């Protein structure tokens, strides 16, 4: 009877195992082999050992794309998390029409990335763009945004903050899950709004903040579509938006150096895995879970 149940359970899990093996495990192992090969897609791969990784160490564009991506990730994750937390706190208030406000702030995150990129391209237009037009009304001359290397990455970071609706909803759910008796106890102790925020609200939502932080880091390190549509495959101007995955795309599908691109993909995997492990190790110091 027990063996029959185990067999039944394995059969139910079999579709997942097949899907994981075919669409995840096999491609990862194949990419690892190709990263050790000279592979152009048009010809069979030739094993060359660690040569691709050695070349990466001296590739100026590799380091440029990595630094651009880290700059974007730090800015996008930090500002998006702060914005989504602020919005979640505001939308957790009990005022009339709150459902409408929640919908309005969540809608931008539902827009497809391509459509959103085209919209922001129009908004960032130097002459006649809605942002520079609004700045002109208050006497400020707006920059060329996407055509200015000093503002191009910041423009893409601002766009990332605009789409922080998913994190906002998750944080809002975390806020609504905080037990009311904690606030009641804090009020009885004479705690004001700020003390309730610091000693009750923030500690209780640290698991949700931690989740959004991990997801944000993983997503921002893989940024591609916005830069590709808004600044082209070269990451113009002056390669200021040449992000890591954009560089990987160019190497794989323009230069047809698939082995080199696979090496870049595995380095990105190791970076994301390493950052996730580090975040997990330090999470015990600041993430607090409610004990029943």
Q: What is the pLDDT of residue 21?
A: 94
Q: What is the residue-level pLDDT of the chain in tens, covering all 292 positions?
A: 778 788 888 899 999 999 999 999 999 999 999 999 999 988 999 999 999 999 999 999 999 999 999 999 999 999 999 999 999 999 998 888 888 999 999 999 999 999 999 999 999 988 888 999 999 999 888 898 999 999 999 999 999 999 999 999 999 999 999 999 999 999 998 889 999 999 999 999 999 999 999 999 999 999 999 999 999 998 888 999 999 999 999 999 999 999 999 999 999 999 999 999 999 999 989 998 876 5
Q: Class assignment of domain 60-286?
A: mainly alpha
Q: Which residue has the tokens 């209780």?
A: 204
CB proximity list for 217: less than 8 A, separation 6 or greater: 73, 77, 272, 275, 276, 279
Q: Which of 224, 286, 223, 85 is nearest to 167 (CA)?
A: 85
Angle at 38 between CA 37 and CA 42, to 5 degrees: 120
Q: What is the pLDDT of residue 236?
A: 83
Q: How far apart are CA 68 and CA 63, in angstroms?
A: 8
Q: How far apart are CA 258 and CA 265, in angstroms?
A: 10
The sign one gets for the Cα dihedral 115, 243, 279, 269 is positive
Distances (CA, A) of 43 to 37, 38, 125, 233, 255: 11, 9, 44, 25, 14
Q: What is the pLDDT of residue 3?
A: 81
Q: How far apart are CA 243 and CA 67, in angstroms?
A: 8
Q: What is the pLDDT of residue 292?
A: 57
Q: How far apart are CA 292 and CA 290, in angstroms?
A: 6
DSSP annotation of 146 = G
Q: Measured over all CA atoms, what is the biggest interatomic distance in the chain, rounded to whole angstroms?
A: 80
SS (H, E, C) 72-136: HHHHHHHHHHHHHHHHHHHHCCCCCCHHHHHHHHHHHHHCCHHHHHHHHHHHCCCCCCHHHHHHH
Q: Is the pTM of this model over 0.75?
A: yes
Q: Which two tokens stand for residue 189?
A: 């102790």
Q: What is the pLDDT of residue 288?
A: 87
CB 248 within 8 A of CB 264: yes
**φ, ψ of residue 47 in degrees (nearest 5):** -65, 125
Tell me how crowded residue 89 is: count the other CB atoms within 10 A of its CB: 16
């Amino acid at each position: 009877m027990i063996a029959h149940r185990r067999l039944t359970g394995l059969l139910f899990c079999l579709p997942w195992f097949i899907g994981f093996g075919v669409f995840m495990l096999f491609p990862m192992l194949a990419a690892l082999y190709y990263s050790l090969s000279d592979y152009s897609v048009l010809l069979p791969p030739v094993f060359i050992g660690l040569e691709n990784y050695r070349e990466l160490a001296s590739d100026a564009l590799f380091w440029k794309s990595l630094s651009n991506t880290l700059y974007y990730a730090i800015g996008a994750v930090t500002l998006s998390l702060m914005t989504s937390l602020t919005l979640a706190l505001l939308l957790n208030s009990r005022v009339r029409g709150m459902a409408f406000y929640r919908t309005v702030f969540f809608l931008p995150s539902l827009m497809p990335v391509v459509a959103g990129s085209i919209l922001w391209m129009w908004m960032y237009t130097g002459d006649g763009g809605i942002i520079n037009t609004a700045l002109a009304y208050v006497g400020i001359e707006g920059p060329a945004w996407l055509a200015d290397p000093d503002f191009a990455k910041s423009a893409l970071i601002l766009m990332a903050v605009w789409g922080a609706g998913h994190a906002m909803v998750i944080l809002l759910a975390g806020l609504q899950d905080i037990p009311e008796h904690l606030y009641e106890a804090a009020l009885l102790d004479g705690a004001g709004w700020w003390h309730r925020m610091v000693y009750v609200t923030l500690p209780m939502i640290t698991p949700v903040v931690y989740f959004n932080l991990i997801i944000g880091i993983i997503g921002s390190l893989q940024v591609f579509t916005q830069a590709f549509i808004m600044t082209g495959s070269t990451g113009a101007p002056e390669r200021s938006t040449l992000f890591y995955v954009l560089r990987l795309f160019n190497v794989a599908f323009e230069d047809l150096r698939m082995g080199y691109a696979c090496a870049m993909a595995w380095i990105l995997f190791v970076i994301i895995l390493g950052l996730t492990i580090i975040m997990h190790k330090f999470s015990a110091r600041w993430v607090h879970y409610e004990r029943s």
